[in-house]
Amino acid sequence: MAHRHQPTKTYVRPFFGPVAARENRAAHGNVCVIDTCSCGAERRTNRNQGHLERGTWTAPERSTT
C-alpha cells in the first residue's frame, strides 16, 4: 500500500515566489502555506484572497554527510 501524504505541521510565511509549474498569478502576493507530512515531505501553497496555487509534495533533501 502506498503512503498518502497528510499534513501534520503547517507553517505560514510571506509570499516568496511561484510554487507550481502552472502559475496562478492571482494567488501571488499574500502568504505561502507550507504543509509538512510525518515522512518529511513538504507541499507549498500560495494563497491570496481566495486564490490558490498549490505545489506538489516534495521529498525532503537528504544530507550527504
> Per-residue pLDDT tens for 10-39?
999 999 999 999 999 999 999 999 999 999
Quick one: DSSP state of residue 27?
G
DSSP type of residue 60: P
* pTM for this model (two decimals): 0.85
Q: Is the pLDDT of residue 55 over 90?
A: yes
pLDDT of res. 46: 98
Cell of 55: 505545489
Please answer whether residues 53 and 23 qualify as being in contact, where contact means their C-beta atoms are separated by less than 8 angstroms: yes
Half-sphere exposure of 33 (CA within 13 A, CB side): 14
